[in-house]
Amino acid sequence: MANIYDVAQRADVSVATVSRYIRGQPVRPDNAEVIAQAIADLDYRPSIAARALVTKRTGVVGMVVPNIANAFYSEVFRGFHDCLLADNYQVILANSDGLPNQETQVIDSLVRLGVEGLALVPLASEAALGSEAQRSAIRRLQRIQTSGSTAVVVITECLPYQEAFDTVSVDGREAAYVATRHLLRTGREHVMPLGGHPEADAVRRRIDGYHQAMIEYGLSSYSLRHYPGGMDRESGYRLMEKVLREHPEVTAVLGVNDQVALGALMFLEDHAIQIPEQVAVMGIDDVAEARIVRPRLSTVAQPQYEIGYEAGRLLLARTGGEEEPDGPICRMLPTRLKVRESTWELPQSVPEPKPEPLSSPGRDG
Amino acid sequence: MANIYDVAQRADVSVATVSRYIRGQPVRPDNAEVIAQAIADLDYRPSIAARALVTKRTGVVGMVVPNIANAFYSEVFRGFHDCLLADNYQVILANSDGLPNQETQVIDSLVRLGVEGLALVPLASEAALGSEAQRSAIRRLQRIQTSGSTAVVVITECLPYQEAFDTVSVDGREAAYVATRHLLRTGREHVMPLGGHPEADAVRRRIDGYHQAMIEYGLSSYSLRHYPGGMDRESGYRLMEKVLREHPEVTAVLGVNDQVALGALMFLEDHAIQIPEQVAVMGIDDVAEARIVRPRLSTVAQPQYEIGYEAGRLLLARTGGEEEPDGPICRMLPTRLKVRESTWELPQSVPEPKPEPLSSPGRDG
DNA sequence: TTGAAAGCGTTACCAT
DNA sequence: ATGGTAACGCTTTCAA
């Protein structure tokens, strides 16, 4: 690999001049030309490592998510990515894979690599809740934010994080409230919430929103119910089965997120139970799959792309240096009810579906 | 940010000793203890950049894919990720977003960041085909492989890449052949292949496989047909409409990949055309969505996770230093026919579905 | 086992 | 506008 000295020598100028040329500082035109040629000849690429050593700037930011294979995070990442690319940052993505250890590991790696900013979607798994583990994770992040030159933004509804970092989130309570109310308004009384562990702030808020709606409709007998469990499709599938066994009177289920709702929906489909006539299904998030399954899944949409984009903007605000806001700022983005086939009104005959635009570009390799 | 000198000073030893301690070399026990304490106190993290400057080793490898939001690549990445993590490498993922410019940009970034290895799923879009653009992309990669200390592996069926780099791929011709034969065997004669541009090696091979099967069945009148187009769901949706208009006699369509097939399937669903009774639908790849939609999509599965994992192994073989194989090695992985509801045999009544295990863990935040 | 000092490739400062 | 040179934080000789 050629270095800046090789280029300088070949161009017959000093390294300082080459350095200036690289960074776009004024250089005499004839020199510029020779240097450009030398760079091309030698296939020279400035080492970010060496540069960072002196400037503290790498032009790289990182994002850590629990699971890239999850459509929700993919969209968040795309928004983040687009925002930062517009500011000439490169973005690298790392996976925490649902493992607290790996989360701290990859964060550490990114920091040591010299990322200027770090966007984190923290784990909210059973292993990482409330407890000491989470507090120490937060302390570590705080040290990174304070001591290092690494800005931090967290995408979460989790309070401890919101108190310490710039965060972006949605109002999960409201989302679940709207979802439940929609089910009630369309004639379902026996609504059951599915999945998630209430120890997680995000889950608790959603369950709260559900309870609130039920109580408002005078259905307090239901208001305390909840089938807790994992937050993936398999969990939704199993929970749906259990609910049907234990509460055959149920006329609607509300997945704590789309994955759970999709699992429930799949169970119903597999057992030839009419959706939404016998059981209506509703999710929260609006991941890409919700628009692919038939019947399409009703849900309360989180603006995933915007969440990522906003996280990027917060990061840039801190990275830019200049006028930093002092307190941690918490950006709350609005959700939106999406009524689809899985909760269509009961008496009404099924109208000709007007397909939504398909999303998510396809594999092209 | 504390550096190694701060630690040395606080521990009252030399930087050399600290350095040895960090790297696990023998240090007198009492010293080890003081150093450990100092590191903890100062929250010291060795700078990868500084280390890389002298060792040329960053412990980081990168992967570049066209689109993270695509389930196919997510799975490939997971396999790659798992393989490298087992060898204590950190993995960073970058998105080329379908844009040739951005592809070269992110590759460049990764290299300059000092990744020791680079796994690439190259663009195969219209913009990046056969032409000069592709050749120059390949040349760039070759220089990286040669001059730098960066190993390269490419995941592709594209010949020019296979000649120059370690590659991992599947036999797309065979896959399409198997898919088509399955359709023919189950009583469909009028099979139409959908999507993709034949200029892409991968697409051409798949179309070839289709042709071969049609010819073997004496259906050469169909053997030359192909509805070319994009490789995403929208394209599949539109192409399905077009086929139905121009060839209402069609009894089956073969998407050049699952996304196209899914688009076709959605069109049929939206227009209340019976699947598979009126039109059977088949894809190639087996992305996660294929198991979610109803009817479930029949397809020929690419071992996505294994593809990524194998790419990781090839990279490690080059990175490890020692005994490098000399020629470019091309690992060809087997595909597998997955018969699902979208192609069930015609006369047969619909059996009780035995659900496959659900896959892809869910959002847990 | 330890410490001193010479790099690694780049930028930034200071003369010129 | 240019060139010389001291950092930057780490590893790696080489002596002790």
State yes or no: pLDDT of A60 exceeds 80.
Answer: yes
The b/e string for B36-71 (b: 16+ C-beta within 10 A; e otherwise) is: eebbeebebbbbbbbbbeeeeebbbbbbbbbbbbbb
State yes or no: pLDDT of A267 exceeds 60.
Answer: yes
- DSSP code of residue A247: -
pLDDT at B197: 92
Nucleotides on strand C lying under 7 Å from protein C-beta: 1-5, 7-13
Whole-angstrom Cα distance, residue B202 to residue A222? 55
State yes or no: pLDDT of A286 exceeds 60.
Answer: yes
Q: Give the predicted TM-score (pTM) of the model.
A: 0.89
Give the mean pLDDT of chain B. 90
Q: At what angle do helices A4-11 and A15-22 cross, to 10 degrees?
A: 110
pLDDT at B129: 60
Is the Cβ atom of B16 within 7 Å of strand C at any atom? Answer: yes
Instruction: Note whether B67 contacts A361, CB cutoff 8 Å.
Output: yes
Interface list for A 300-319 with B (CB within 8 A): none
State yes or no: pLDDT of A126 exceeds 70.
Answer: no
Query: Do B172-301+336-343 and B58-170+304-333 fall under one CATH topology?
Result: yes
Whole-angstrom Cα distance, residue A177 to residue B53? 55
Domain boundaries, chain B: 4-46, 58-170+304-333, 172-301+336-343
pLDDT at A129: 60
Average of pLDDT values for B160-167?
A: 94
A302-322 confidence digits (pLDDT tens): 999 999 999 999 999 998 765
Order the strands of the A191-194 sheet from edge to edge. Answer: A191-194, A252-255, A280-285, A298-301, A336-338
Higher-confidence position of B29 and B1: B29
Average of pLDDT values for B319-344?
A: 88
Instruction: Note whether A66 contacts B365, CB cutoff 8 Å.
Output: yes
**SS3 (DSSP) at A272:** coil
Is the Cβ atom of B28 within 7 Å of strand D at any atom? Answer: no
Give the mean pLDDT of chain A. 90
Judged by C1' against the alpha carbon of B20, the nearest nucleotide is: D11
Interface list for B 158-197 with A (CB within 8 A): none
Quote the radius of gyration of chain A (alpha carbons, Å).
Answer: 25
Q: Which residue of B has its CA nearest to A237?
A: B358
pLDDT classification of B30: cutoffs 50, 70, 90:
very high
Chain A residues whose beta carbon lies within 8 Å of the beta carbon of residue B70? 360-363
Q: CB-based contacts of B343: which residues, under 8 Å, 6+ apart?
A: B182, B183, B186, B252, B276, B280, B281, B282, B298
Q: Which residue of B has its CA nearest to A93?
A: B93
Instruction: Note whether A234 contacts B143, CB cutoff 8 Å.
Output: no
pLDDT at A326: 77
pLDDT at A130: 63
Order the strands of the B280-285 sheet from edge to edge. Answer: B191-194, B252-255, B280-285, B298-301, B336-338
Is the Cβ atom of B135 within 7 Å of strand C at any atom? Answer: no
pLDDT at A200: 87
Is the Cβ atom of B147 within 7 Å of strand C at any atom? Answer: no
**SS3 (DSSP) at A283:** strand
Q: CA B3, C1' C16: Å apart? A: 35
Whole-angstrom Cα distance, residue B103 to residue B109? 10
Cis peptide before A276 (omega within 30 of 0): yes
Judged by C1' against the alpha carbon of B55, the nearest nucleotide is: D11
Average of pLDDT values for A184-202?
A: 93
pLDDT at A353: 44
The DSSP element (H or E) to which A254 belongs, if any, is strand A252-255
Judged by C1' against the alpha carbon of A51, the nearest nucleotide is: C10
pLDDT classification of A178: cutoffs 50, 70, 90:
very high
Q: What are the two backbone dihedrals, phi and then psi, of residue A167, each rounded to the nearest 5 degrees? A: -135, 155
**Chain A residues 41-100 within 7 Å (CB) of strand C:** 44-47, 50-51, 53-55
A198 contacts chain B (CB < 8 A): no
Interface list for B 236-255 with A (CB within 8 A): 237
In this complex, how many residue pairs, one in chain A and one in chain B, have their CB atoms less than 8 Å apart?
Answer: 254
State yes or no: pLDDT of B354 exceeds 60.
Answer: no
Chain A residues whose beta carbon lies within 8 Å of the beta carbon of residue B48? 49, 109, 112-114
pLDDT at B111: 92
pLDDT classification of B359: cutoffs 50, 70, 90:
very low
- Beta bridge partners, A168, equal A155, A331
**Does the domain made of A58-170+304-333 have the CATH classification 3.40.309.10?**
no
Instruction: Note whether A48 contacts B114, CB cutoff 8 Å.
Output: yes
Whole-angstrom Cα distance, residue B172 to residue B332? 10
Six-digit token string for A61: 């930011």
In this structure, is the dihedral angle defined by the CA atoms of residues B121, B127, B130 and B136, taken in order, positive or negative? Answer: negative
CATH class of the domain at A172-301+336-343 = alpha beta
pLDDT at B347: 60
CATH class of the domain at A4-46 = mainly alpha
pLDDT at A365: 31
Average of pLDDT values for A151-166?
A: 94
A71-75, A204-208, A354-358: segment of lowest average pLDDT: A354-358
Residue in B294, B358, B364 nearest the CB of A263? B358
Chain B residues whose beta carbon lies within 8 Å of the beta carbon of residue A59? 109
pLDDT at A196: 94
Of B310, B349, B357, the closest CA to residue B333 belongs to: B310
State yes or no: pLDDT of A298 exceeds 60.
Answer: yes
Instruction: Note whether A358 contacts B266, CB cutoff 8 Å.
Output: yes
Is the Cβ atom of B44 within 7 Å of strand D at any atom? Answer: yes
Measured in angstroms, the CA of A48 and the nearest CA of chain B are apart by 5
DSSP notation for B41-77: HHT----HHHHHHHH---SEEEEEES-TTSHHHHHHH
State yes or no: pLDDT of B310 exceeds 70.
Answer: yes
B239-291 confidence digits (pLDDT tens): 999 999 999 999 999 999 999 999 999 999 999 999 999 999 999 999 999 99
Chain A residues whose beta carbon lies within 8 Å of the beta carbon of residue B78? 68-69, 95
**Chain B residues 48-107 within 7 Å (CB) of strand D:** 50-51, 53-55
In this complex, which residue's CA is closest to the C1' atom of nucleotide D11? Answer: B54
State yes or no: pLDDT of B346 exceeds 70.
Answer: no
State yes or no: pLDDT of A363 exceeds 90.
Answer: no
Chain B residues whose beta carbon lies within 8 Å of the beta carbon of residue A362? 70, 230-235, 257, 259-260, 263
Residue in A67, A85, A363 nearest the CB of B72? A363
